[in-house]
Chains A and B, each alone.
Chain A
């Protein structure tokens, strides 16, 4: 007995170590499919494998990336960012994405890295090709310079660090790899959509026309067009020659008006305490999937249906429920920026704020008030947007005890 007890005491730490550490060699990392989307689109297992195979043929693996010429991506840069973390005696480093990004953004770029769950805001999921902080029109892709700026400057108040200490070549490689993961993710969405549209017994043709011309090429083109979609801040969009105080006053009026409606979300105090129950697109997708699951469970429990239909629905519920548990982050509300802190995640230069108001924030509830395309009328004119820019930039210096004009008027009316 004593021997057993003594053995237990001595080997408990070792046992704990083995349990916690695990044993056996890890498998090489693999890209994973978006199981929530797969479950929602009800893609059967054999078709899922087909999607994975097509994606591997088009994009390779995390250790061995590959790109078709249509993507316009530089394979040498991708090879520098991909694979296991290594460096040589000449200072050449590879595996940059795995070392710097994958813990949060995930190997697939799905924003589901192991640390993601405890970060607020969640890391970006690149697969939809939506990026918040950029110089281009709302639905357009960011330019390389936009992605580089985010990498170099980081995002204030979040876990996204500044990689300003990395050499230029490494930053370039990471920018290329983010674009690669995003294109891969969007291609996956295109493929699963195509699979979902197939009628029973129909197969997706594995041809260049279908896979590359119809699915990959439009995705790649949207990235290649990004530099043409930059919102100009000169010419017709140049800042009006107007006294600063006058511009701020005009901006203040707009901020609280129904036309710009900024106060609705940013609050009457501009502390970001207006509407705080909206979701960004990533959380909204999960929220809608959860609602769909709840509705399906309800149907399963209450509605009358044939045994076959019940079995199919039960299978769908099980798949979606499992996907939401393992491949999704709990939805979180999008909190509007507190404009009195003077912290602007997309950049604090006046033209950054101009573009943020003009195009809104892609994927977030912040709407665009500029024209949807050049020449079209927008909610606000360029001059009005500049007035708002001046007011927003003045907010950190405005005494918060001074209530905004419209709210003051309402209070007087109530008295």
Chain B
């Protein structure tokens, strides 16, 4: 155990951060299903549900009613659960630990939940696809943020030892670029998913082209990132596991992307020489279509979170441990400047 560690550090901030992660990930799935099934407007009012207070809406109507109502109202109820956990996390950061920056991160988590809820509400009140798009982008970003909180509040984070290895700088740089690429990919994915029928001819093709191009760039970066980590830190499971996980998830994600395309639009015409492709018919709102597409969305969020976590961990290992309690000072590398708050934890 590192001697500088505060032995009285409460485990509650970390526990609640993990709970926040565990509650937010299903939210991504439920939100994804809401979009997949076109259930965004299944409840026309907000914050009430058909005039009822959110918590007082008759549960029999919710559970035994139409599926679209079930997932939309469920999405809202689950959102309040995430909000309550975020409040508990904020309280724990103010009461159970002494790191000032973590307190502000706790406040940011609560603001994030409230803002995301408000975006969801605005999407309903304005029935506006552009807001749905932003809501769909902010969700994965918030999930990645909760994963970062869980990582930052962990014991392993606090006991991490600084390393002077040059490889860590390269891992950091690759991590930052990969995370930005995943974010860009999410933005492009949202263009494809929250598509307005009024969008100009060609917009979808453009977004699809960039979505595929960024996927190739991402694959190359994740390969390089995993190779770097495994080359220099194979024994460091704190880095090696997320690096390998990132690579595996990305490969699965490419498969899910192809699956989403096929289950929504059929096989490309150049495969029509094969009987299976020539005879295939997508089934609208079918389980395969809905779950493949939603899994693609959810795994995208998980990839963003893993990439961010790996980047933060590599930064943590390459930053002076003594900076934990030191007053903030100018960081030395570009990535440290970007995420100086995380490095200072």
Contact residues of A with B, CB < 8 Å?
2, 5-6, 9-10, 13, 16-17, 20-27, 29, 84-91, 93, 95, 98-100, 102-103, 106-107, 112-120, 153-166, 326-327, 329, 338, 341-343
Dominant secondary structure at the A interface: loop
Assembly CA distance A162 to B284 (angstroms): 6
For B283, give its contact among A10, A162, A338 (CB under 8 Å).
A162
For the complex, is B11 an interface residue (Cβ under 8 Å from A)? no
Assembly CA distance A107 to B188 (angstroms): 23
15 pairs from A and B in contact (CB 8 Å cutoff): A2-B337, A13-B183, A20-B188, A21-B133, A26-B128, A87-B41, A87-B42, A91-B65, A93-B68, A107-B198, A118-B204, A157-B266, A157-B272, A159-B265, A343-B275
Pair A326/B278 contact, Cβ less than 8 Å: no
For A84, give its contact among B41, B190, B265 (CB under 8 Å).
B41
What residues of chain B lie closer than 8 Å to A102, measured between beta carbons?
A: 197
B57-105 contacts to A (CB < 8 Å): 61, 65-66, 68-69
Indicate with 1 or 0, residue by residue over B176-219, a CB within 8 angstroms of chain A CB atoms: 00001001100110110001111111111100100000000000
Pair B66/A87 contact, Cβ less than 8 Å: yes
Question: What's the least CB distance linking B124 to chain A, in Å?
Answer: 10
CB closest residue in chain B, given A118? B205
Assembly CA distance A326 to B187 (angstroms): 25
Pair B281/A155 contact, Cβ less than 8 Å: yes
Question: What's the least CB distance linking A340 to chain B, in Å?
Answer: 9
Pair B337/A6 contact, Cβ less than 8 Å: yes
Assembly CA distance A156 to B191 (angstroms): 27
Pair B130/A26 contact, Cβ less than 8 Å: yes
What residues of chain B lie closer than 8 Å to A157, measured between beta carbons?
A: 266-267, 272, 277-280
What residues of chain B lie closer than 8 Å to A341, measured between beta carbons?
A: 275, 278-279
What residues of chain B lie closer than 8 Å to A2, measured between beta carbons?
A: 330, 337
For B198, give its contact among A29, A86, A119, A326 (CB under 8 Å).
A29
For B282, give its contact among A26, A27, A93, A159 (CB under 8 Å).
A159
Once A16-B187, A90-B66 are accepted as A-B contacts, the answer to whether A115 and B204 lie under 8 Å apart by CB is yes
Assembly CA distance A103 to B196 (angstroms): 7
Contact residues of B with A, CB < 8 Å?
38-44, 50, 61, 65-66, 68-69, 126-130, 133-134, 137, 180, 183-184, 187-188, 190-191, 195-205, 208, 264-269, 272-273, 275, 277-286, 289, 330, 334, 337-338
Question: What's the least CB distance linking A120 to chain B, in Å?
Answer: 4
Once A158-B266, A159-B282 are accepted as A-B contacts, the answer to whether A89 and B66 lie under 8 Å apart by CB is yes
Chain A to chain B: the 10 pairs with minimum beta-carbon distance, closest first: A102-B197, A154-B281, A91-B66, A161-B282, A114-B199, A120-B269, A159-B265, A114-B204, A161-B284, A157-B278
What residues of chain A lie closer than 8 Å to B264, measured between beta carbons?
A: 159, 161
Pair B284/A163 contact, Cβ less than 8 Å: yes
What residues of chain A lie closer than 8 Å to B68, measured between beta carbons?
A: 87, 91, 93
What residues of chain A lie closer than 8 Å to B204, measured between beta carbons?
A: 114-115, 117-118
Question: What's the least CB distance linking A86 to chain B, in Å?
Answer: 4
Pair B278/A156 contact, Cβ less than 8 Å: yes
Question: What's the least CB distance linking B172 to chain A, in Å?
Answer: 14
What residues of chain A lie closer than 8 Å to B199, measured between beta carbons?
A: 114
CB closest residue in chain A, given B137? A17
Apart from A120-B268, A160-B281, 8 more pairs, CB < 8 Å: A10-B338, A13-B180, A21-B130, A21-B133, A86-B127, A88-B42, A116-B201, A163-B284
